[in-house]
Chain A
Amino acid sequence: MSAETPNRARHDPHATPDAGHGERVGVYVCHCGHNIANTVAVEEVARWAGEQPNVVVARDYKFMCSSLGQELIEQDIQQLGLNRVVVAACSPHMHEKTFRSACQRAGLNPYLFEMANIREMGSWATDDREAATQKARAQVKGAVDRAVHQQPLEPLYVDINPNTLVVGGGIAGLTAALELANAGYHVYLVERDSSIGGHMAKLDKTFPTLDCAACILTPKMVDVANHPNITLMTWSEVIAVHGYVGNFTVRVRKKARYIKEDLCTGCGTCVEKCPVRIIDQNFEVGLGYRKAVYRNFPQAVPKYPVIDTANCTFFQRGKCRACEIVCPTDAIDFNQKDQIVDLEVGNIILATGYEQFDARRVPQYGYGRLANVFTSMEFERMVNAAGPTAGRVVLRDGVTVPKRIGIIHCVGSRDKNYHEYCSRACCMAALKFAHLVHERVPEAEVFNFYIDIRASGKHYEEFYHRVLSESTHFIRGRVAEVTDAARGPGEEGQLIIQVEDTLIGKQRRIPVDMVILMAGMESRKDARQVAALFGLGCDYDGWFTERHAKLDPVVTMTEGILVAGACQGPKAIPESVAQGSAAAARVAGMIGQRVMKMEPVRASIDAASCSGCRICNTLCPYHAITFHEDRKVSEVITALCQGCGACVAACPSAAISGAHFTRDQVLAQIEGILWDARQPEVLWLEPQ
């Protein structure tokens, strides 16, 4: 093992001549209670680190992030004249900021600090103490060797655009938009559908208080539409996002409505006279009809209808024009084109919501095959006074009132074949349905088939007890199948629910007239494309990944991109509202700072080495590289650069260097990590 700086680094044009000589490094190995110390021999790592070149002091400490741990660093900087600090502890996501501040307080430039993650990447990843300790040594060595090459850097400050984009006009997005608008900031609310309100607008009652969804939602929708600080863009989609926190440029496609919004009074005559009637797969989830020119529901916001060109007789066959003829204000415009609008915003809140699990994927429950099997969202529309049956609970024939209704929980949720997670809202919705059936059809019997009743929310358990006292039957067991295959005369003409009643330990066959499938929530089909568009991450199930599941649930790993509502994971209304407000508060806090400190991790081009090949120009995802025709060299616009390093790696002349990620720093770290690579012992990760 040699402490010498690798030769290659000497040729680096950005290498400082004296890098790697005479630096005074302090190393601090954290126990993190038992989190690290149980698996890594921290004292030994510290002792060994103290023997490494350039290391002046090496210590281990129970909790480096505590104020005492930080003071330890500060004292050593001042008393021992440290000019580099390495902490081997948790992920930099956790505490890099903490230790950088400690360095700064002691007068050391924070970019002379380096962190080795021996917890997430070491102690938490294995039980093998020997291997974890060996890896920790390598990580510390890499960090020390890197640190001696680090240079003092000054943070960049950028102005924060006070406008915010909210994507999605469901309850989470509406809440976030209103909170920010009320705080005095401008909000662009972009909604893909023709009106706002999201899934909540389809519901009749909301659990557990049973207040009418429309009554509590419509005022919010109207507030959003009328708010001077909100620009509402429905029937619109984000198609491109450029820039970075504080300064995003967002390109939005406003789809043609074929209605002139300035002239339309929302009288609805066009809808009434339109001769085309089709099944509404969107708002009525297939249970009702709409016209080719339509509004989702009577109180839709905005009030302007939209023409569905795929089903409009005029767009398909060139004639009809019924809507144009009857419109009293000449607001129909068949020649309208999509518009592209660019918005400048500082922050983006994604509230793109969820989709209902497709119950057809569980064929043994018969949805789509057996007429009187309904999904939970179909039933929501059915019990809604503004829905297809005007609130009457009836079978698919539209007339017969069911006498026995089976509600099957966890369809597509808590099921390894589909989604392993719990969709959280369905148990309560099922209880609500049971209650609504008792209210509308008092003589009907209701059976709930459940795995567990998950009623963990304010007043939820109380609601469960209320429904229990209304003599709903609760049968604990996962339903095997719903069938119309009668075994004998007692079952003819009914739907049979076959289930193992796990409380009495018997197979049961329960005949019912109607089955409601509590289909769970899943991420939107295009969630991954949306995530790629905005540059954030998705988990395995397609839910957007928050920065920290517990402590930072509304911010993503991408600065300036926040999430709210069910796009981050299954949620009911109260949690979606809470998250919408939280995201708005975070954004308001950010805007209040006016300027934002940015990491000075930026690329720069050494003009003398640049050959003018322009490879980097097209490669840069942030359009941050400009080409000077006169001098035939490229230059990085520092304010736009995000420090991703793509150009650094691609430059054939090695003319581009990334601050804080220079070649000598990265190569020194690699060599440090590989300090023992010549030794024959190689660590393999072996399965079991």
Chain B
Amino acid sequence: MRYGYYPGCSLERNAGAYHTSLMAVAAQLGVEFAEVDDWNCCGATEFIAVNRLRAYALVSRNLALAARQTTGSNGASQGQLVAPCSACYLNLSKVEHYLSESPALASDVNNALAAGGLSYEPGSLRVRHLLDVMVNDVGYEKVAARVRRPLHGLRVAPYYGCLVVRPGFQGRFDDPEYPTSLDRLMRTLGATVVDFPLKAHCCGGHMTQISRDVALELIRRLLKNAADYQADMIVTLCPMCQLNLDAFQESVNGLFGTEYRIPILFFTQLMGLAFGLSPAAVGIGKEFIDARPALAKIGAAAPAAAEAAPRRKPRRGDQSLPLPQMPEEE
């Protein structure tokens, strides 16, 4: 399996551990991520609000480069471009969608691209998020087969953030309100997944720079929720989410008088650990909130039977009503 790979700026800086771990995991799974040469910024969340056409052209330059470098490489008519960052994923898939939808926009954008000797034919790329590729292309079975060190004993809160399953541009891969693919992936690795009702809620995004108190309240809710469910850590798939929850955790504690010490890791880091890679190989140690105390739990204790399985037969004198049946997973 070969994909075009668009790392985005954060994976070169604050989310370096994401890049390191996803590359290490990809090598283990036989997936090739070919980085797009000479890629540029995706415009993040702000630029589209400043000047739409320029923002589209900015993103389209990446699409054009990626299409040129990935299409046809494996005989498929449509190239696949993977973005590990939720914001990059949103911008790339959104612009691809708008270009396909509006020939007029595609023509304007292509006029701009022509200045750099580039062009982009809408529809020639399918933009995917890394999680989508891991669970749907690689698949849970193949991941399970690679697990050497199951994450038994580790309670994780799966955090999707607001962007990854919300855009419906190129086929959503999970429920937009209550996604479960990361939950299942973590269970595949042997971890215990806690119910995390805020899993698709906002982390504050860039609000930390604009309205700090608003952002810290949003972060506090997430940390409290994870702590309420006794999660050892929050696992995420977005550099923005990771940064906000990790780097601003001390600020939250300062503002609200809380004492949260919840490590925030990328899902690929846990995949790597479960595959038997060393913590250093998956970038453990770069986080602000030290993940090592939590990771020490792996294999140390059997999963706590916190959630008792629903009883099939009620005991004598028990008046409780049966719980609704849920469809069998896995």
Interface string of B295-330 (1 = CB under 8 A from A): 000000000000000000100001111111111000
Q: Within the assembled complex, what's the spacing in Å between the Cα atoms of A378 and B318? A: 19
Q: Are B321 and A360 in contact (CB under 8 A)?
A: no
Q: Give chain A nearest CB distance to B200 CB in angstroms.
A: 8
Q: Are B321 and A396 in contact (CB under 8 A)?
A: yes
Q: Are A287 and B321 in contact (CB under 8 A)?
A: yes
| Interface: A617 (CB within 8 A) | no
Q: Are B197 and A485 in contact (CB under 8 A)?
A: yes
Q: Give chain B nearest CB distance to A480 CB in angstroms.
A: 9
How many interface residues does chain A have, given as a range?
A: 20 to 34
B contact residues around A363 at 8 Å (CB): 175, 177-178, 180
| Interface: B259 (CB within 8 A) | no
Query: Which of A281, A394, A398, A486 touches B228 (beta carbons < 8 Å)?
Result: A486
| Interface: A81 (CB within 8 A) | no
Q: Within the assembled complex, what's the spacing in Å between the Cα atoms of A277 and B327? A: 21
Q: Give chain B nearest CB distance to A202 CB in angstroms.
A: 15
Q: Interface residues of B: mostly helix, strand, loop or mixed?
A: loop
Chain A CB within 10 Å, residue with most, of B180, B197, B318, B327: B197
Given contacts A277-B313, A364-B177, A398-B318, contact A485 B323 (CB under 8 A): no
Q: Within the assembled complex, what's the spacing in Å between the Cα atoms of A483 and B325? A: 19
B322's closest neighbor in chain A, by CB? A279
The segment out of A365-373, A466-474, A535-543, A579-587 that lies at the interface is A365-373
| Interface: B225 (CB within 8 A) | yes
Q: Are A485 and B228 in contact (CB under 8 A)?
A: yes
Q: Within the assembled complex, what's the spacing in Å between the Cα atoms of A397 and B310? A: 12
Q: Are B221 and A485 in contact (CB under 8 A)?
A: yes
A363's closest neighbor in chain B, by CB? B178
Q: Are A398 and B319 in contact (CB under 8 A)?
A: yes
Q: Are A388 and B323 in contact (CB under 8 A)?
A: no
Chain B CB within 10 Å, residue with most, of A375, A382, A485: A485
Given contacts A279-B325, A368-B326, A485-B225, contact A396 B320 (CB under 8 A): yes
Q: Within the assembled complex, what's the spacing in Å between the Cα atoms of A364 and B165? A: 14
A contact residues around B319 at 8 Å (CB): 389, 394, 397-399
A contact residues around B322 at 8 Å (CB): 279, 286-289
Given contacts A398-B319, A399-B319, contact A286 B221 (CB under 8 A): no
A contact residues around B198 at 8 Å (CB): 483, 485
A480's closest neighbor in chain B, by CB? B177
Given contacts A397-B320, A398-B319, contact A360 B228 (CB under 8 A): no
Q: Give chain A nearest CB distance to B245 CB in angstroms.
A: 15
Q: Are B327 and A360 in contact (CB under 8 A)?
A: yes
> How many contacts A-B (CB < 8 Å)?
66
A contact residues around B221 at 8 Å (CB): 485, 487
Q: Within the assembled complex, what's the spacing in Å between the Cα atoms of A399 and B321? A: 9
Q: Are A487 and B321 in contact (CB under 8 A)?
A: no
| Interface: B195 (CB within 8 A) | yes
Q: Are A360 and B197 in contact (CB under 8 A)?
A: no
Q: Are B195 and A369 in contact (CB under 8 A)?
A: yes
Q: Within the assembled complex, what's the spacing in Å between the Cα atoms of A487 and B225? A: 8
A contact residues around B225 at 8 Å (CB): 485
Q: Are A396 and B197 in contact (CB under 8 A)?
A: no
| Interface: A500 (CB within 8 A) | no
| Interface: B212 (CB within 8 A) | no
Count of B interface residues, CB-CB < 8 Å:
22
Q: Are B326 and A481 in contact (CB under 8 A)?
A: no
Q: Are A389 and B324 in contact (CB under 8 A)?
A: no
B217's closest neighbor in chain A, by CB? A487
Q: Give chain B nearest CB distance to A238 CB in angstroms.
A: 29
Q: Give chain B nearest CB distance to A351 CB in angstroms.
A: 28
B313's closest neighbor in chain A, by CB? A277
Q: Are B197 and A286 in contact (CB under 8 A)?
A: no
| Interface: B224 (CB within 8 A) | yes
Q: Give chain B nearest CB distance to A286 CB in angstroms.
A: 6
Given contacts A363-B175, A397-B320, A481-B177, contact A487 B325 (CB under 8 A): no
Q: Within the assembled complex, what's the spacing in Å between the Cα atoms of A389 and B195? A: 29
Q: Are A398 and B321 in contact (CB under 8 A)?
A: yes
Query: Which of B224, B321, B327 touches A388 (beta carbons < 8 Å)?
Result: B321
Q: Which of A295-325 contact B (CB under 8 A)?
A: none
Q: Are A286 and B325 in contact (CB under 8 A)?
A: yes
| Interface: A484 (CB within 8 A) | yes
Q: Give chain A nearest CB distance to B103 CB in angstroms.
A: 12
B contact residues around A368 at 8 Å (CB): 323-326
Q: Within the assembled complex, what's the spacing in Å between the Cα atoms of A360 and B180? A: 13
Q: Give chain B nearest CB distance to A386 CB in angstroms.
A: 15
Q: Are B323 and A360 in contact (CB under 8 A)?
A: no
Interface string of B219-236 (1 = CB under 8 A from A): 001001100100000000
Q: Are B326 and A371 in contact (CB under 8 A)?
A: no
Q: Are B323 and A371 in contact (CB under 8 A)?
A: yes
Q: Which of A261-308 contact B (CB under 8 A)?
A: 277, 279, 281, 286-289
Q: Within the assembled complex, what's the spacing in Å between the Cα atoms of A366 and B198? A: 12
Q: Within the assembled complex, what's the spacing in Å between the Cα atoms of A277 and B195? A: 30
Q: Within the assembled complex, what's the spacing in Å between the Cα atoms of A632 and B325? A: 61
B contact residues around A487 at 8 Å (CB): 221, 224
Q: Within the assembled complex, what's the spacing in Å between the Cα atoms of A388 and B314? A: 13
Q: List 14 A-B contacts (CB under 8 A).
A: A281-B325, A287-B322, A289-B322, A363-B175, A363-B178, A364-B178, A367-B324, A368-B325, A369-B195, A369-B326, A382-B321, A396-B321, A485-B225, A485-B228
User: What 8 A-B pairs are tightest by C-beta distance, nearest first?
Assistant: A363-B178, A398-B319, A364-B177, A485-B197, A483-B197, A398-B320, A368-B324, A485-B225
Q: Which residues of A does B touch, CB under 8 Å?
A: 277, 279, 281, 286-289, 360, 362-364, 366-369, 371, 375, 378, 382, 388-389, 394, 396-399, 481, 483-487
- Given A485-B225, A485-B228: 12 more A-B contacts, CB < 8 Å: A286-B322, A360-B324, A362-B177, A364-B178, A366-B197, A382-B321, A397-B320, A397-B321, A398-B319, A399-B319, A483-B198, A486-B228
